[in-house]
Structure 1
Amino acid sequence: MSDSFQVHPIGWIRKKDDAVRIDIDPAFQDGLVGLEGFSHIIVCYWFHENDNPDDRRRLQVRPMKNPSNPLTGVFATHAPVRPNLLGLSTCRVVSVTGNMIRIDAIDARNDTPVIDIKCYIPDKLKPSEIRLPAWISSQ
């Protein structure tokens, strides 16, 4: 097994004013067939502006950049600094036209490379089965 592998963008986040879209590379446009039937998608993207050795070594942060939150391991947060700079966001689909997906919002910057998109299918977890740390509910 290899110690590393490569991923390549399938598209890019585009933000202008309040409009947010994902421009898919035309080579991957056929992968969008049927996506308009879903209300939400999960977008996997690369935190390209944090790609440096220091941010990849950082293993603890204060969640949401709030100094009153406890020092927490990056695997227990959504922080953009981490060993592999993958970001995930669930987004509401506004429309799918050609190679463009209009979405309502995303926690990513303009020109962020998109690695993959998955349709959102709700989990079967009951709310009573979900546990969250106190700092999340206090935000």
Structure 2
Amino acid sequence: VLTVVLPQMVNVLVLFYGGRLVLEGSVSSGKLVSFMLYLTTLSEAFDTMGAMWSSISEAAGAADKVFELVKRKPELEVQPRSPIVSLACQGRLELKDVCFRYPSRPTRQILNHLSLKITPGTVCALVGPSGGGKSSTIALLERFYAPH
């Protein structure tokens, strides 16, 4: 309410005071109109800057979340000196009877005997309700966690 009322109050006060100055002859009516137009333009510019600042703040918050995901480290123990084994990559993805619980919530079963097969060249989408295990499945595929 204040953001709407305050600019209008300023306009009324400037018009009232400017009108008195015009009647006294110390300011021309053209200068008063010019000043009112300048004030309106300036007010609109500040409104636009405020809206942009809000959008920039939202974008910065979203960017923080993205960078947090990018910097995320796997919880799997990886031997730093273990040799890299070259696997024959076929482009096929298969999960068989995968069970999973987050280490922070060991009593809550997230995935219960999940089996999934994705063949090369197919498009696959994980869909389901919130809390259904979609993000957990991706986290397992990315090896951020180990299945049980």
Kindly indicate which of the two structures has a greater share of residues assigned to helix. Answer: 2
Kindly indicate which of the two structures has a greater share of residues assigned to strand. Answer: 1
Global fold match (TM > 0.5) = no
Q: What is the TM-score when the length of structure 1 is the normalising length?
A: 0.20
Q: What is the TM-score when the length of structure 2 is the normalising length?
A: 0.20
For CA contacts below 8 A with separation 6 or more, give which structure has more relative contact order: 1
Larger Rg over CA atoms: 2
